[in-house]
């Protein structure tokens, strides 16, 4: 589908696919909270979500991808918290602001440890190339330095 105002095509998720995605995420989160990420299998998630394994694996190749999707919205909230913190503390010296950012990040890391471990510990089916890794690192550094110098 092409938007009249934009030249890039937009893709919307089918309603049934969106419902399946939400069922998967809800089932996985519930199972992860009860049993821990490591103890839960993809098969258990499919059963709990009342979907077939094929449906689950078409959406997520492994638990790592599923954990990443679960944590995605939380990461957005983390960056919003960082942005708010930096605005509130814009007159503080950069070293003090960096300490505040690190404190927010550590709190995030501690509260989301299981999901992050699910992302970090699972061997990716397609590892990031050094070019992709450097792109992500460059974006993180640019984001941090832009806010520290404001």
pLDDT higher for 73 or 2?
73
Specify the pLDDT at position 6.
47
Is residue 48 a contact partner of residue 30, using CB atoms and an 8 Å limit?
Answer: yes
d(C-alpha 48, C-alpha 44), whole Å: 6
Specify the pLDDT at position 116.
84
Confidence of residue 122 (pLDDT cuts 50, 70, 90): low
* CA angle, residues 105, 30, 122, in degrees to nearest 5: 60
CB atoms near residue 139 (< 10 Å): 10
Q: pLDDT per residue over 75-109, tens digit each?
A: 888 999 999 999 999 999 999 999 999 999 999 98
> What average pLDDT does the chain have?
81
Q: Which fold has domain 1-60?
A: Arc Repressor Mutant, subunit A (1.10.10)
Alpha helices, DSSP H, located in 9-129: 15-35, 42-49, 53-59, 63-88, 94-111, 113-121
Q: Per the structure block, which two tokens stand in for 36?
A: 């821990």
d(C-alpha 54, C-alpha 143), whole Å: 38
What's phi and psi for 2, nearest 5 deg? -115, 130
Domain boundaries, the chain: 1-60, 71-150
pLDDT higher for 54 or 4?
54
């Amino acid at each position: 589908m092409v938007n009249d105002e934009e030249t890039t095509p937009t893709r919307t998720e089918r309603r049934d696919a969106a419902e399946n995605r939400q069922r998967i995420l809800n089932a996985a989160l519930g199972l992860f909270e009860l049993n821990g990420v490591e103890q839960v299998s993809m098969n258990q998630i499919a059963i709990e979500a009342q979907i077939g394994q094929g449906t689950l694996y078409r959406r997520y190749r492994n638990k790592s991808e599923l954990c990443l999707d679960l944590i995605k919205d939380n990461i957005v909230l983390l960056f919003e918290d960082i942005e708010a913190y930096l605005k509130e503390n814009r007159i503080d010296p950069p070293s003090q602001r960096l300490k505040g950012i690190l404190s927010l990040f550590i709190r995030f890391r501690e509260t989301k440890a299981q999901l992050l471990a699910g992302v970090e510990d699972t061997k990716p089916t397609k590892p990031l190339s050094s070019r992709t890794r450097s792109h992500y690192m460059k974006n993180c550094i640019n984001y941090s330095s832009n806010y520290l110098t404001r």
